[in-house]
Amino acid sequence: MALADVDVEIGGLPAEHRLRIIGDGSVDDDGKPKRTGTVWTASAHIITAVIGSGVLSLPWSMAQLGWVAGPATLVVFAGVTYYTSVLLTDCYRSGDAVAGKRNYTYMEAVESYLGSGQVWFCGLCQYVNLVGTAIGYTITASTSATALYKANCFHSGGHSADCGVYTTMYMVVFGVSQSM
Q: What is the CA radius of gyration of the chain?
A: 25
- Output 84 or 23, whichever has higher pLDDT: 84
The answer to whether 24 and 34 have CB atoms below 8 angstroms apart is no
- Confidence (pLDDT) at 21: 52
Phi-psi region for residue 18, left (φ > 0), alpha (ψ -120 to 50) or beta?
beta
Distance between CA atoms of 11 and 84, rounded to whole angstroms?
31
- Confidence (pLDDT) at 80: 94
- Domain spans in the chain, listed from the N-terminal domain onward: 1-55, 65-114, 115-179
Range in 53-62, 69-78, 151-160 with the lowest mean pLDDT: 53-62
